Amino acid sequence: MKKNNIKLLLKNQWFHLIILLCWLAIGIILRSTNLAEKSASSIEIATLGYSLGHSFFDLPLDRVITLNQLLSPLQFESNSTPTDVIHQLLNEDTHPPLYFVLNHLWFNLFSTDGEIVSLWVGRSLSAIFGVAAIPAIFALGWLAFSPLVGHIAAALMAISPYGIYLAQESRHYTLTILWIIASMTCLIAIVPYLKKHRIIPIWLGCLWVAINSLGIATHYIFLLVLATEGLVIGGFWLRDMQNRFQSYWWRIYLVALGTFIGCLVWLPVVVGAANNQLTGWISTSFDLDEIWHPIPRLLAWILTMVWLLPIEGTSLFVTILSGVTLLVALFWVAPYLWRGWKAQMNDIENRLSFQVFVSFFVVAIALFLVIIYGMGRDLSLAARYHIVYFPIVIILLAAILAKCWHNSENQTEVEKVFSDKETGKIKKEGGIKKDLIITSATSIIASTLKPINKRVVIVVLLIGLCGGLTVINNYGYQKSRRADLLVEMIKTQSKSPLLVATTYQTHAEIRALIALGLELKRQEYQNNISDFFQPKFLLSKRQENQRLTPDSTLAKFLSQTSRPIDLWGVNFKVESSDLEAFNCRKYSGKKSNINGYRYRLYNCR
């Protein structure tokens, strides 16, 4: 018998491993497809440049430069060290250095001296961490609930449109997600100890402190994760106040102290980041007609963590059709998800774990609203900040769908109606035949509902997969700045040598111009065109009243350079009348916008 049990156990383990490998394969395929096809965003340029140990302030201002000079911050140099990475990052940016140092070591494996770093290499490390989140969420789901919840969570993570979007960015978000999952795993692991008033093991406490410290060293948004976990544990503490000085609570206090010390080293940087001009764009003072905007944005980010259909870069008809389809599907699955929610709340064995995740989600949303409305920092503006509760959304949905798969809610209803007491009453009233007829009818109804509930799980996963395909084909979660579209516009409208001019304010403008230059270089390489239009670039200091003075670099360039020239003002602040004095005529009557780039073409003849 023991041998048979061991064989059955091994068989189950192999089964779980094979299924998990399937989710991994799907996740790898989705995250690697078209990985380098999308143009780089300006924040990705920051990651690449700082990971190489370069400064963006080394680029000259008020001087016309070539494309190669513009892209010099993205040039790999083998003599650069992790110390250079940390130094440049802390001097110029607002992020902690862990991911950037790892990225630097990653570049050393695949880059050669003097080359412009590959966008594929730059994004691949983030994609690897994104794939690693699949087995990580599986382990958390299994630990907190069951293997089935683990598998559904892994499947949802593998196909998540939001997860794929983050994995295909050369940024530190996927590594932060791994730390969030790891920290939540520690939280779930200590819950039984708190429930039974037992001391948590030293190794678990030390592991939790280490994970939390690494989370802060990766992204400061992890502070919200720690605050949320602290408030969730605070709920346990309030219910157990009479024992607050017991030894098992002292171990929790030590974990909190260790985490605080791990965060303390970054406190001056965090304070500086909050007031930095690079984060000023989320500062908001709400007008009455805008005060409700963050709420639908929050709901949209939550929905698109699981579901998304083509809504960007498509016709209006396709966008509307996608939106209507998502709403119809949401209304269809909502009653089943509600039943699954209630069934999970009534599950005595897993109720506590479910309540912990629900509490985390509710507290995290509450903290976001406090920051948005109380502090005037609109975190709803960017999807990336919502990594704080992204893994929790996946786990909660997986736990609910697992109940749908088991059809527990229907079984509960059947048990209520046809309990032993009710069956006895039926027997008294109508005898055995009547009992058999009703019991058979009940079985038919239950067996009919069961596959419907399973279809809910399948529909959720299929629409999620469509969302993943939407993202990799660039019909959702598009870059905030589409350099590729602007390059296409330049190729279409320019037939002469060109100068791209940008007004400098912060190195955000530098990054945006470098992203445009990188896309020019990329299309030049792909189309096998040498020195694409011989483009030149100018980072111009902002002039008072946006006037073009005769001694400015642009005025001198226009006076001394042979014609014709096409001047592209990209996010460029200058009076058009000043350019007319240099015989530069507007190609169109007004400025145009392409996903974050405001541009205007002047033909100088």
CA 150, CA 105: separation in Å to the nearest integer? 32
CA 604, CA 279: separation in Å to the nearest integer? 37
Is-contact 62 504, C-beta < 8 A?
A: no
SS (H, E, C) 532-599: CCCCEEEEEECCHHHCCCCCCHHHHHHHHCCCCEEEEEECCCCCHHHHHCCCEEECCCCCEEECCEEE
Q: How many CA atoms lie within 13 A of 194 on its CB side?
A: 25
> Residue 60 has what pLDDT?
87
Is-contact 487 526, C-beta < 8 A?
A: no
Residue type, position 22, single letter:
C
Is-contact 471 168, C-beta < 8 A?
A: yes
> Residue 514 has what pLDDT?
92
List of long-range contacts for 311-316, beta carbons under 8 Å, 24+ apart: 311/470, 311/475, 311/476, 312/474, 312/475, 312/476, 312/477, 312/478, 313/474, 313/475, 313/478, 314/475
> Residue 101 has what pLDDT?
94
Sign, CA dihedral 243-248-252-258, equals positive
DSSP class of 371: I
Question: pLDDT tens for residues 149-168?
Answer: 999 999 999 999 999 999 99
Domain boundaries, the chain: 38-76+88-117+481-605
Is-contact 356 232, C-beta < 8 A?
A: yes
3-state secondary structure at position 219: coil
Counting as low any pLDDT under 50, the low residues of the chain are 1, 6, 274, 408-449
CA 602, CA 345: separation in Å to the nearest integer? 64
CA nearest 60: which of 592, 427, 544, 510? Answer: 510
Is-contact 33 140, C-beta < 8 A?
A: no
> Residue 123 has what pLDDT?
95
Question: pLDDT tens for residues 201-233?
Answer: 999 999 999 999 999 999 989 999 999 999 999
CA 299, CA 386: separation in Å to the nearest integer? 11
> Residue 47 has what pLDDT?
93
CA nearest 183: which of 158, 208, 220, 148? Answer: 208
> Residue 139 has what pLDDT?
95
Sign, CA dihedral 503-504-505-509, equals positive
3-state secondary structure at position 604: strand
Residue 561 — φ and ψ, nearest 5°? -95, 140
Question: pTM for the full model?
Answer: 0.88
Percent of the chain exceeding pLDDT 70 equals: 83
Question: pLDDT tens for residues 540-569?
Answer: 876 666 677 777 888 888 888 888 888 888
> Residue 437 has what pLDDT?
43
Q: Give the strand pairing for 498-504 and 565-570.
A: parallel
